[in-house]
């Protein structure tokens, strides 16, 4: 096996490879969203069929994250990323040449599996390659490339669609970061686990059965839906309020990327628990403003929301790596998978809220855009509950961690 000394010499190359792998994930998310109308028209697919194709992306992601976490210390992160490259490359090529509904289901599942492997392999690699606040910095900078990549992909797709370039050409663009990360990872040594118990499944499961890990698992379900819930619906809702949905999307994802770049300094100042608590407060304020404001104020709401949710995902994973290290790669993968499962479970529930709120608005005699706006903002008002609960949970966590630090200092 490789030594830690050998691993540290190539830590930056592994990190850059991880970033390009996450850009691949982000492009597969945003470019696919951009080409859906073309796919539906060219292949005569219904909205339901397009929905099932998209669901394969969300299905493959958490499945491969969990399996990757289980086998990380058995087969190594290098082997998992080799499978990710194979899945991404095959998924891209099969998407382009599928020509059928079934083919697109299979190709999208493959891309989803590659995306999940990226999270399963790269999060523990970064946690093992860097120490202390440097680890938090690099985890935040790694995760900045999901929103950053979405901005790149959305702009690229918009430009190529307006230039009347085929959807196949747009899908080929995802292959560029795929080949780059394969080159950067090729022949590189991966770091070993810092803690012996983190490299054993027995040690992982024992740590994951602790009250702290189970508490963080519940928090992850709420942080993920606080981030992805409003993002999935806010554009549709605010389009009726005079705000531009694409500008809202660009503002949110762009600010998230910038905030994550400076995440390490913020964590150093406030610790992960302080950052998570502050994020919950800002996210609650952002979603509340989305539910009550229209027009120009929607952009103010977007700023609060983006700064709130930016630090959720990387610092939930960073907290587990730092405060529950014996859970290892599996613990980080399970936390991430919980976030994805939570998002997929809550989406139809949120859709049901919108239907109910529309029925309530219609019963008041509202119609057209006014009905959509009132119902949508009522649903966003219900969604405020998610980050509001997190304020309570993260306040408890902040006091608990502070007490534990005090006890450790006086022991």
Question: pLDDT tens digits, residue range 192-233?
Answer: 887 777 778 888 999 999 999 999 999 999 999 999 888 766
Tokens coding 17: 């490879």
The pLDDT value given to residue 24: 97
* H/E segment holding residue 309: helix 297-309
d(CA 138, CA 125): 11
User: For 370, how many CA atoms within 13 A lie in the half-sphere containing its CB?
Assistant: 7
Distance CA 84, CA 112 (A): 9
Number of alpha carbons in the 13 Å side-chain half-sphere of residue 145: 22
Per-residue pLDDT band for 144 (boundaries 50, 70, 90) equals very high
Task: Yes or no: say if 135 and 317 are a contact pair by the CB < 8 Å rule.
Answer: no
Residue 239's pLDDT band, with cuts at 50, 70 and 90, is: low
Q: Which residue in the block uniquely carries the two structure tokens 């022991």?
A: 411
pLDDT at residue number 193? 80
- Range in 130-144, 350-364, 378-392 with the lowest mean pLDDT: 350-364
pLDDT above 70 coverage of the chain, percent: 95
Contact 335, 72 (CB under 8 A): no
Greatest mean pLDDT among 56-60, 162-166, 278-282: 278-282
Q: Helix-strand-coil percent breakdown of the chain, rounded to 5?
A: 85, 0, 15
pTM of the full structure: 0.84
Give yes or no for a contact between 140 and 264, defined as CB atoms under 8 angstroms apart: yes
C-alpha distance from residue 156 to each of 28, 171, 203 (Å):
12, 11, 45
pLDDT for res 113: 96
Q: Which string of b and e fits 96-124 if b means at least 16 CB within 10 Å? A: bebeebeebbebbbbbbbbbbbbbbbbbb
Q: What is the arithmetic mean of pLDDT over 263-276?
A: 92
pLDDT in tens, 38-75: 887 888 887 678 778 877 887 888 899 999 999 998 89
């Amino acid at each position: 096996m490789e030594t830690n000394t050998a691993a540290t010499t190539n830590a930056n190359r592994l990190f850059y490879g991880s970033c390009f792998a996450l850009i691949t994930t982000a492009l597969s998310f945003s470019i696919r969203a951009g080409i859906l109308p073309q796919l539906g028209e060219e292949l005569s697919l219904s909205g339901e069929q397009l929905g099932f194709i998209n669901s394969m992306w969300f299905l493959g992601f958490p499945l491969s994250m969990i399996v990757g976490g289980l086998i990380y210390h058995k087969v190594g992160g290098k082997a998992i990323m080799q499978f990710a490259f194979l899945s991404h490359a095959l998924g891209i090529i099969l998407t382009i040449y599928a020509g059928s509904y079934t083919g697109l289901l299979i190709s999208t599942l493959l891309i989803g599996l590659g995306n999940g492997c990226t999270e399963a392999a790269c999060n523990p690699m970064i946690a093992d390659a860097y120490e202390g606040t440097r680890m938090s910095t690099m985890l935040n900078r790694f995760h900045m490339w999901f929103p950053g990549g979405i901005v790149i992909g959305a702009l690229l797709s918009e430009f190529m669609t307006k230039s009347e370039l085929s959807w196949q050409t747009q899908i080929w663009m995802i292959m560029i970061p795929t080949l780059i990360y394969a080159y950067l990872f090729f022949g590189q040594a991966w770091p070993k686990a810092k803690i012996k118990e983190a490299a054993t499944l027995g040690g992982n499961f024992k740590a994951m059965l602790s009250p702290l890990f189970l508490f963080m698992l519940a928090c992850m379900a709420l942080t993920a839906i606080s981030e992805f819930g409003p993002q999935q619906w806010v554009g549709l809702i605010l389009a009726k309020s005079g705000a531009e949905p694409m500008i809202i999307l660009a503002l949110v994802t762009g600010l998230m990327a910038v905030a994550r770049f400076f995440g390490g300094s913020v964590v150093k100042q406030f610790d992960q628990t302080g950052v998570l608590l502050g994020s919950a407060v800002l996210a609650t304020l952002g979603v509340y403003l989305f539910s009550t404001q229209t027009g120009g104020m929607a952009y103010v709401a977007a700023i609060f929301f983006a700064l709130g949710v930016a630090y959720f995902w990387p610092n939930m994973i960073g907290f587990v790596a730092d405060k529950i290290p014996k859970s290892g790669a599996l613990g980080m993968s399970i936390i991430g998978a919980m976030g994805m499962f939570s998002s997929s479970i809550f989406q139809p529930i949120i859709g049901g809220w919108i239907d109910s709120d529309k029925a309530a608005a219609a019963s008041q005699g509202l119609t057209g855009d006014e009905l959509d706006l009132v119902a949508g903002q009522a649903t966003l008002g219900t969604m405020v509950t998610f980050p509001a609960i997190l304020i309570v949970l993260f306040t408890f966590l902040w006091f608990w961690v502070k007490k534990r630090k005090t006890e450790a200092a006086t022991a």
